[in-house]
Amino acid sequence: MSETITDYTNKLTIPKPEENFRHPMEAYIRSERFPHIWCSSCGIGTILTAYISGLQKSGLDPEKVAVVSGIGCSGRVAGYLRLDSFHSTHGRALPFATGLALGNPELKVSVISGDGDISAIGGNHFIHSARRNMNLTIICINNFTYAMTGGQAGPTTPIEANSSTTPYGSYEYPFNLPFLAESCGAVYVARWTALHIRRLTNAISEALLKPGFSFIEVISPCPTLYSRRNRLGTGLDSMKFYHDTAIIQHGAETREVDIEYQQKIIVGKFVDKEKPTFTEARDKFLKKKLGDRFVPYRGPNHGH
């Protein structure tokens, strides 16, 4: 510690940052890609941070964790994570992740992507991946809009909310994503907001350790498009809103957690149950049918 710098009060001497003040998450971030593309006070960065904390907390070996994103502001998360990370096509993160997870059963594969990506263009893949109980952790960043393309309405846009394609307000019934996930077969379903960092971190860690299809919806501010169009203020105002309106209700019936425009947001862990994963069910079934003739798929590190 030869070189030091002096703080503004001139009372303390602290070591030069490069040596001892490296950011504890630096190892997980492709900081060479900074500055990132997100607007200031966007919620996505917070969720990225929570993902890293959740991963650290899970104790999983980062070399065996892969992340897949689709396309959108949220879809850029994969590009900033120093993990094996894939930026696929719009809506196809889940099937790409399915191939990755089946291809190498030693991997824990997460999908981090937007509400439009996962529930609109990727909706078919979402319901079927959940139905199969594919071993995937899905983190769906719900900002109630298609942000990347300029703030259009999507399947999560609440009735009344303004968007660039609903200039008089939206009148379509939106999805209740936790209900959708549960009814399709997800074994772990939670919802948090970008304000609930500690709980979100715990949820991510739990979901990563849970075999099968886990789903976390994260309500996240898009101050640039959604909030501005709806005069909801800054990112900080959204945080205040989440603080005042979010109600923690673990085990809530997912059919009752709809989100209405600027109304209460029920958050919590809604579903946590056991069910054999796609691969567990497949292997057990085929073993029963084929006996010794069954050869399980073991992945690339075990011959064919």
Ligand X SMILES: Cc1ncc(C[n+]2csc(CCOP(=O)(O)OP(=O)(O)O)c2C)c(N)n1
Q: Rule CB under 8 A: which residues touch other proteins?
A: 30, 33, 62-64, 66, 68, 78-79, 82-89, 91-92, 94-104, 106-107, 124-125, 127-128, 286, 290, 293-301, 303-304
3-class state of residue 5 by DSSP? strand
Q: Which of 83, 189, 222, 252 binds ligand SF4 (CB under 6 A)?
A: 222
**Between 144 and 192, CB nearer to ligand SF4:** 144
Cβ-in-10-Å burial (0-12, 13-18, 19+) of 3 comes to: exposed
What CA–CA distance (Å, rounded) separates 71 from 88?
Answer: 7
Name all contacts of 168-174 with Cβ < 8 Å and 24+ positions apart.
174/258, 174/259
Q: Which is nearer to ligand SF4, 187 or 222 (CB)?
A: 222
Q: What does the per-residue mask of binding to ligand SF4 show for 100-139, with x meaning CB under 6 A?
A: ----------------------------------------
Question: Interface with Mg ion includes 143 (CB under 5 A)?
Answer: yes
C-alpha 113/C-alpha 125 separation (Å) is: 13
Q: How far apart are CA 126 and CA 62, in angstroms?
A: 25
CA distances from 141 to 32, 70, 98 (A): 24, 12, 19
- The residue within the footprint of ligand SF4, chosen from 29, 39, 60, 281 (CB under 6 A), is 39
If contact means CB under 5 to 8 A according to the sort of partner, which of ligand SF4, other proteins, Mg ion, none does residue 30 touch? other proteins
Whole-angstrom CA distances from 34 to 26, 73, 211 are: 12, 15, 33
Q: Which of 67, 109, 112, 147 binds ligand SF4 (CB under 6 A)?
A: 147
* Shorter beta-carbon distance to other proteins: residue 11 or 304: 304
